[in-house]
Amino acid sequence: MNTVFRDINATLKKLLFKNLSNFVEESSIVFGQPDQVETSGNTQICMFLYRFQPNAHLRNVPPRYENNKMIDPPLIMDLHYMVIPYAKDHETELMLLERIMATLHDYANLKGDLLEGDLANTGNSRVKIIQNIKGAEETQPLLTSVMKDKFKLAAHYVITPVQIPSSKAAEAKLVAKRIIDVKDLEQLKKEEDAIKEAKKQARKEYMKKLWEIQKKAYEEKEEEEEEDYEEDEDEDEDKDEEESDDEDYSEDDEDDDDDDDEDDDDDDDDDDDDDDDDDKKDKSKDEDSDDDDEDYSEDDEDDDDDDDDKKDKDKDKDSDDDKKDKDKDEDSDDDDEDYSEDEDDDDDDDKKDKDKGR
């Protein structure tokens, strides 16, 4: 079973072999990853499909009709290829890459006999080969991971637009018969006039109903405004009455306040008189107290003087007693002395008596 991608690969392989048959064999043109290519010194060309994405400009293609059926639009893709030449030496690789780029430039539009497989029947009747200038930037991370940091010369191309047909189909019957009703021009004019008259009458009725509705709404609005006006007047009258009552009440309050103020003044005067009397009484009390204190102090002084006199008298009495005691002591001493003298005399007498007895 042929697919679109396989047919594209077959078309590119046939094109390159036809123009590079002096350099490579048909079996030496391979499609796969660069790290899986066996390089045993033979000349080879690797076509690596590294990216494919929807075509941004042909995404909204309308459906097509075929055999009384409506077929949904196909999926239109862009195929990104990297072309890598392999040879024994670097010079041969350069020459081979040059021939590849020249061939793809000369056959930039693939159509007619150049198409292989079922491309023409799947909507790919014309396919373009466009060199991708930004391909090196896009494939740099890929080459780093796939080629394992082994740099190789490569060219980048985009095959576009590649259509992948939709498998969904729906029947859409074509018009098989048309019925045309031809009428007289006068009859058509009458019908048109009747239609215009009917529209005119309908418009009149509509305007009449609209005017009645607006009139009714206007009358209701006027009634509401009158009611609001009457309510406002009543409220104003009530406010005026309240204000007059408030004024009368305020006047009465002012009179009462004046009376209260007069009473308060009288009370204050009475209180002041009472306070003056109290002050006078307190003052007289204070004066009496001061007099009492003075009398008391004088009595205290007299008592103190009496005490002092008494103490002096006691002192004098004590001194007299001391003198008496002293005199007594002196008399006692004199008596003792006299007694001792008498004893001495007695002794002497005894001695004398003893001498006499001898």
Q: What is the pLDDT of residues 1-58, one digit of tens each?
A: 568 889 999 999 999 999 988 888 888 888 888 877 776 778 889 898 888 888 888 8
Q: What is the mean pLDDT of residues 142-162?
A: 76
User: Which residues sit opposite 53 in a β-bridge?
Assistant: 78
Higher per-residue confidence, 115 vs 311: 115
User: How far is residue 44 from each of residues 30, 214, 333, measured CA to CA in Å?
Assistant: 8, 92, 173
Q: Residue 33: what pLDDT? A: 82
Q: What percent of the chain has pLDDT over 90?
A: 15
Tokens of 217: 């709404």
Q: Are 157 and 130 in contact (CB under 8 A)?
A: yes
Q: What is the CA radius of gyration of the chain?
A: 75
Q: What is the mean pLDDT of residues 243-260?
A: 67
Q: Residue 358: what pLDDT? A: 43
Q: Match 């045993």 to its residue by tokens.
A: 40
Does residue 345 register a pLDDT over 80?
A: no
Q: Residue 24: what pLDDT? A: 86
For the chain, give the mean pLDDT: 75
CA 37 – CA 263 distance, rounded (Å): 128
Does residue 105 register a pLDDT over 90?
A: yes
Q: If you average pLDDT over each of 87-101, 227-241, 265-279, 289-303, which comes out highest? A: 87-101
Tokens of 221: 């609005």
Q: Global pTM?
A: 0.45
Per residue in 78-104, pLDDT (tens digit) is 999 999 898 888 888 899 999 999 999
CA 296 – CA 257 distance, rounded (Å): 56
Does residue 126 register a pLDDT over 80?
A: yes
Per residue in 182-224, pLDDT (tens digit) is 667 788 888 889 999 999 999 999 999 999 999 898 888 888 8
Per residue in 42-77, pLDDT (tens digit) is 888 989 888 888 888 888 888 877 777 777 888 899
CA 103 – CA 88 distance, rounded (Å): 22
Q: Are 77 and 52 in contact (CB under 8 A)?
A: yes
How many of the other CB atoms lie within 10 Å of CB of 126?
A: 13
Judged by DSSP in three states, 315 sits in helix
Q: Where residue 258 falls among pLDDT bands split at 50, 70, 90?
A: low
Amino acid residing at 206: Y
